[in-house]
């Protein structure tokens, strides 16, 4: 299982392939957007705009043959520090790809981040995050009005 960030550069992949990496991998990550849209109630077109505007960087949990999960990462500044926010995380066979947390953390370190903020479901804290040194600093709750 591999953590595979998708470069956000608008440069062509090669002289033979004028597409950038987001365009070239569209078929791999687009199917996950429906699930993100359903849970977040954010229209798919809005999610696509965030990706196209490079507000969110995508990464895949890759099992060698196909993607099992999609990560959406937002980089934000807090003072002089860069923070990596995992704003989207969805996929199949969660127990197979949650082991990618160390690779995600290393990627964010390599990008210059001083902190990671994963947005997660309540059960994930118990399953892996607490055991990996994460601690709750805020809770986000919602209510349909």
Residue 144: predicted pLDDT? 52
Those residues of the chain that have pLDDT short of 70 are 119-145
pLDDT of residue 123: 59
Q: Greatest CA separation found in the chain?
A: 53
Which pLDDT belongs to residue 140? 60
For residue 116, give the nearest of 80, 87, 90 by alpha carbon. 87
pLDDT digits (tens, 9 = 90+) for 59-84: 999 998 899 999 999 999 999 999 99
Q: Domains in the chain, ordered, with CATH?
A: 2-132 (3.40.630.30)
């Amino acid at each position: 299982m591999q953590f595979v960030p998708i470069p956000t550069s608008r440069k062509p992949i090669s002289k033979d392939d004028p597409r950038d990496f987001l365009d070239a991998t569209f078929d791999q990550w687009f199917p996950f957007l429906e699930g993100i849209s359903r849970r977040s109630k954010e229209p798919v077109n809005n999610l696509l705009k965030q990706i196209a505007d490079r507000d969110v960087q995508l990464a895949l949990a890759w099992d060698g043959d196909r993607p099992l999960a999609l990560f959406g990462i937002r980089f934000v500044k807090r003072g002089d520090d860069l923070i990596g926010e995992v704003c989207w995380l969805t996929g199949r066979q969660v127990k197979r790809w949650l082991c990618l947390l160390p690779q995600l953390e290393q990627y964010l370190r390599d990008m210059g981040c001083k902190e990671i903020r994963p947005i997660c479901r309540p059960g994930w804290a118990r399953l892996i995050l607490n055991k990996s040194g994460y601690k709750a600093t805020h809770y986000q709750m919602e209510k349909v009005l």
